[in-house]
């Protein structure tokens, strides 16, 4: 059964090929194959998950991909608890979103193309989580990046959409460069890119790994930092997060699948998978946690004032990803993955719900033109509320458990300020999430009159996935209520413990149980969340004027947040414009140089040929003339023999006779 794992990524790939080639003929029925393959993958994934539950794992090299000298890369799959969980999340959420898309993308001219790309994405993501070596994982990594580009710019005729796709790809690339460098370092040090060959070696090579390298950082610190840069790009952390808000140009199912549930979490998965390496590099772990925490707060502040429904959710995603990295950075890898899973459910739900709203309002996305939609779209409203509460971390919804465990791990690690940032972010999260809900679904309707006529609940094919996701957003947390005993943790922890054991004596941050107890922290978290919700309730439901007055009072801060700290503008000026200026300068030099060189060469050639011609003329002429002159001179000289006087000839004869006779005599 386990060996069927290769089917999981291949089935969607088959969908890609068929839909891609026969898209024109399949058209409106493309979803059948796409959804079908995804569903089938989910079933197989489920089967594999059950197998892994019983304790069986698989590390299987299927095909020798690149055997070159010392370098040996394979196509191989790994089925262990971590990849099983990821695989399950990806296929399940992916399947639901595919179903949703059937309704959402109905009537779009690129219907078949959409499903082709979605299936390609599924295939790449599954390769990413199922690979048993870094290179194959990187293949999936790049694949999801490609699909992100294709799907963000799906409506490519729109300038902003194609720009957003490009932006995503370019920013991702920056991270990927770091990732590759990390891979190179790993290969150089360990001689292999297979997880099973690297992680056990971490303990043995401790001395080498701990050797100070550039800037005094140890080798393993560099490795992990470089890997982390890849994660920063892919998972939209500071400072490479700028692509994710723009990625909202893509269709909402895309945002749900790729930019909430799966692709952006690839970075977290990668860090978790490399836990053995990170455990051996405490500096990197601190960096990871800090970046995560800062991102969490930073994104949350921006989300407070945004007015586009999808933008709010996007910044929320960035913020929650920050939490996941915070968890990984303090050693709570299992918690980070747990938050990844719960987040997949409620964030996908939030996006799909937003899509439902947008769909119902005929394309409206500004929340200032929404309101009171609960009456018209009850299913959407209730599921959205559940998701918002889960995101805010309200007991006993899913988000509470995972986020709280992360915060507890943060404070237990001794870095109180990390906890403080996380707590502040949690307050903000609760606030903006409920703000979003209240403004969109409650209160009096500010919907545009023309649109108000069409407001309707989404069709069943879109509503059912919402409901299913809401169930999981509600109850998934129950699998992991306690970091020691709950089913989820007992299932997943061995992966990190096994890796962690190897690096234990390398000084990994022990997640000891110092500090306040879990229960206390749980109470604090709930209190913070409740406070946030209460504030949102006051400002946006009870007394609307409060929001506007606050905006007036803190005009400067408000503008700063509304404009996302002008990060995009800064990046544009520093990197893009500078880059363009540099290119222009270089082009200028190049043109002049090249022109000059070409002209110079041609002039030189002409000149040389002139010289050569002249020399040739002189030479050839001279030679010929010289020969003629010699002959002429010779004849001028010799003609004097012809004196015409016979006696001269006689003399010559006499002399000749004399010579011959004397020769005859004396020799």
Backbone φ and ψ for 485, nearest 5 degrees, come out as -110, -20
654 is an interface residue for other proteins by CB under 8 A = yes
The Cα–Cα gap between 183 and 344 comes to 28
For tokens 């000026």, the residue is: 573
Options 123-131, 556-564, 622-630, 634-642: segment touching other proteins (CB under 8 A)? 634-642
Options 217-225, 580-588, 621-629, 653-661: segment touching other proteins (CB under 8 A)? 653-661
- Degrees (nearest 5) of the Cα angle 338, 342, 348? 140
Half-sphere exposure of residue 165: CA atoms within 13 angstroms, side-chain side: 20
Q: Annotate each residue in 206-235 with x if it binds other proteins (CB under 8 A) or - if it does not, as one string.
A: ------------------------------
The SS3 of residue 71 is strand
Mention every residue, 6+ apart, whose C-beta is less than 8 A from residue 398: 342, 345, 346, 390, 472, 473, 474, 475, 476, 477
The Cα–Cα gap between 495 and 336 comes to 13
Which ranges of 235-274 does DSSP label H, i.e. alpha helix? 243-246, 252-256, 266-273
DSSP-derived letter for residue 461 is H
Q: Annotate each residue in 581-600 with x if it binds other proteins (CB under 8 A) or - if it does not, as one string.
A: --------------------
The Cα–Cα gap between 276 and 314 comes to 31
**Which of 25, 63, 645, 667 is in the footprint of other proteins by CB under 8 A?**
645
**Which of 101, 286, 640, 667 is in the footprint of other proteins by CB under 8 A?**
640
658 is an interface residue for other proteins by CB under 8 A = yes
Nearer to other proteins, 576 or 655 (CB): 655
**Residue 603: CB minimum distance to other proteins, A:** 55
How is residue 253 written in tokens? 């199912």
For residue 68, the cross-strand partners are 71
Cβ 412 vs Cβ 509: under 8 Å: no
For residue 317, how many other CB atoms are within 10 A of its CB? 29
Distance of CA 5 to the CA centre of its chain: 24
Nearer to other proteins, 68 or 645 (CB): 645
> Treating both helix axes as pointing N-terminal to C-terminal, what angle do 309-329 and 398-412 enclose, rounded to 10 degrees?
40
**Residue 642: CB minimum distance to other proteins, A:** 5
**Residue 640: CB minimum distance to other proteins, A:** 7
**Which of 69, 552, 644, 667 is in the footprint of other proteins by CB under 8 A?**
644
Nearer to other proteins, 157 or 635 (CB): 635
642 is an interface residue for other proteins by CB under 8 A = yes
632 is an interface residue for other proteins by CB under 8 A = no
**Which of 53, 594, 597, 651 is in the footprint of other proteins by CB under 8 A?**
651
Nearer to other proteins, 157 or 647 (CB): 647
The Cα–Cα gap between 181 and 205 comes to 20
**Residue 644: CB minimum distance to other proteins, A:** 3
Mention every residue, 6+ apart, whose C-beta is less than 8 A from residue 332: 405, 406, 409, 483, 511
450 is an interface residue for other proteins by CB under 8 A = no
Q: Total residues at the site for other proteins (CB under 8 A)?
A: 18
566 is an interface residue for other proteins by CB under 8 A = no
Options 151-159, 273-281, 448-456, 656-664: segment touching other proteins (CB under 8 A)? 656-664
Nearer to other proteins, 623 or 653 (CB): 653
- Degrees (nearest 5) of the Cα angle 19, 24, 29? 60
648 is an interface residue for other proteins by CB under 8 A = yes
**Residue 654: CB minimum distance to other proteins, A:** 4
Q: Is 642 exposed, middle or buried (0-12, 13-18, 19+ CB in 10 A)?
A: exposed
Nearer to other proteins, 556 or 644 (CB): 644
The rounded radius of gyration (Å) of the Cα atoms in the chain is 38
662 is an interface residue for other proteins by CB under 8 A = yes
**Residue 610: CB minimum distance to other proteins, A:** 44
Considering only residues 35 to 74 of the shown chain, the ones binding other proteins according to CB under 8 A are none
- Degrees (nearest 5) of the Cα angle 440, 443, 449? 75
**Residue 633: CB minimum distance to other proteins, A:** 14
How is residue 54 written in tokens? 């019983």
Nearer to other proteins, 576 or 651 (CB): 651
**Residue 634: CB minimum distance to other proteins, A:** 13
631 is an interface residue for other proteins by CB under 8 A = no
**Which of 207, 215, 639, 667 is in the footprint of other proteins by CB under 8 A?**
639
**Residue 666: CB minimum distance to other proteins, A:** 9
The Cα–Cα gap between 360 and 358 comes to 5
The SS3 of residue 72 is strand
Nearer to other proteins, 594 or 654 (CB): 654
Torsion of CA 396, 397, 402, 404, to 10 degrees: -50
Nearer to other proteins, 214 or 637 (CB): 637
Options 92-100, 138-146, 192-200, 639-647: segment touching other proteins (CB under 8 A)? 639-647
Nearer to other proteins, 216 or 644 (CB): 644
- Closest Cα partner for 291 from 353, 229, 245? 229
Options 120-128, 326-334, 462-470, 651-659: segment touching other proteins (CB under 8 A)? 651-659
**Residue 650: CB minimum distance to other proteins, A:** 5
The Cα–Cα gap between 214 and 481 comes to 43
Cβ 341 vs Cβ 486: under 8 Å: no
**Residue 611: CB minimum distance to other proteins, A:** 43
**Residue 665: CB minimum distance to other proteins, A:** 6
The residue ranges that bind other proteins (CB under 8 A) are 639-640, 642-648, 650-651, 654-655, 657-658, 661-662, 665
């Amino acid at each position: 059964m386990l060996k069927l794992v290769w089917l999981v990524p291949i089935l969607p790939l088959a969908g890609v090929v068929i839909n891609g080639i026969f898209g024109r003929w399949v058209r409106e029925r493309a979803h059948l194959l796409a959804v079908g393959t995804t569903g089938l993958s989910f079933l197989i994934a489920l089967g594999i998950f059950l197998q892994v539950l019983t304790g069986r794992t698989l590390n299987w090299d299927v095909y020798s991909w690149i055997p070159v000298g010392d370098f040996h890369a394979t196509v191989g799959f790994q089925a262990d608890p971590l990849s099983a969980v990821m695989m399950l999340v990806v296929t399940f959420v992916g399947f639901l979103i595919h179903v949703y898309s059937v309704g959402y993308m109905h009537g779009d001219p690129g219907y078949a193309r959409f499903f082709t790309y979605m299936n390609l994405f599924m295939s790449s993501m599954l390769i990413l989580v199922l690979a048993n070596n870094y290179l194959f994982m990187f293949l999936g990594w790049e694949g999801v990046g490609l699909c992100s580009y294709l799907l963000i710019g799906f409506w490519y005729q729109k300038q902003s959409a194609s720009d957003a796709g490009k932006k995503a790809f370019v920013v991702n690339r920056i991270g990927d460069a770091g990732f590759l460098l990390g891979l190179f370092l790993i290969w150089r040090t360990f001689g292999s890119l297979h997880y099973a060959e690297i992680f056990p070696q971490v303990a043995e090579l401790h001395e080498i790994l701990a050797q100070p390298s550039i800037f005094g950082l140890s080798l393993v610190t560099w490795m992990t930092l470089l890997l982390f840069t890849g994660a920063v790009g892919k998972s939209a952390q500071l400072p490479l997060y700028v692509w994710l808000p723009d990625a909202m140009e893509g269709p909402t199912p895309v945002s749900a699948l790729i930019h909430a549930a799966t692709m952006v979490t690839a970075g977290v998965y990668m860090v978790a998978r490399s836990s053995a390496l990170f455990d051996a590099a405490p500096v990197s772990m601190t960096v990871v946690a800090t970046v995560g925490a800062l991102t969490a707060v930073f994104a949350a502040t921006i989300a407070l004032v945004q007015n586009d429904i999808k933008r709010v959710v996007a910044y929320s995603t960035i913020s929650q990803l920050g939490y996941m990295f915070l968890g990984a950075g303090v050693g709570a890898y299992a918690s980070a993955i747990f938050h990844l899973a719960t987040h997949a459910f409620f964030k996908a739900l939030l996006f799909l719900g937003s899509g439902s709203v947008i769909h119902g309002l005929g394309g409206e996305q500004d929340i200032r033109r929404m309101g009171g939609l609960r009456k018209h779209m009850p299913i959407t409203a209730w599921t959205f509320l559940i998701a918002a509460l889960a995101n805010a971390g309200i007991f006993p919804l899913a988000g509470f458990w995972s986020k709280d465990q992360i915060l507890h791990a943060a404070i237990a690690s001794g870095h109180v300020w990390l906890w403080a940032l996380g707590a502040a972010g949690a307050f903000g999260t609760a606030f903006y999430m409920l703000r979003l809900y209240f403004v969109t679904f409650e209160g009096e309707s500010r919907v545009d009159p023309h649109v108000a006529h069409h407001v309707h609940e989404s069709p069943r094919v879109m509503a059912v996935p919402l409901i299913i996701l809401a169930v999981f957003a509600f109850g998934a947390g129950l699998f992991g209520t306690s970091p020691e005993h709950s089913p989820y943790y007992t299932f997943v922890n061995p992966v990190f413990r096994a890796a962690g054991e190897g690096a234990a004596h390398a000084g990994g941050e022990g997640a000891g149980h110092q500090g306040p107890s879990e229960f206390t922290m749980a109470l604090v978290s709930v209190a913070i969340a409740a406070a946030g919700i209460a504030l949102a309730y006051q400002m946006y439901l009870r007394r609307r004027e409060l929001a506007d007055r606050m905006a007036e009072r803190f005009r400067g801060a408000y503008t700063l947040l509304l404009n996302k700290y002008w990060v995009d503008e800064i990046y544009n000026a520093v990197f893009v414009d500078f880059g363009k200026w540099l290119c222009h300068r270089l082009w200028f030099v190049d043109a002049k140089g090249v022109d000059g060189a070409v002209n110079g060469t041609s002039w030189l050639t002409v000149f040389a040929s002139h010289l050569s011609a002249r020399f040739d003329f002189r030479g050839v002429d001279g030679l010929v003339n010289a020969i003629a002159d010699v002959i002429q001179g010779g004849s001028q000289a010799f003609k004097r023999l012809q004196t015409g006087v016979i006696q001269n000839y006689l003399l010559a004869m006499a002399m000749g006779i004399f010579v011959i006779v004397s020769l005859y005599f004396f020799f």
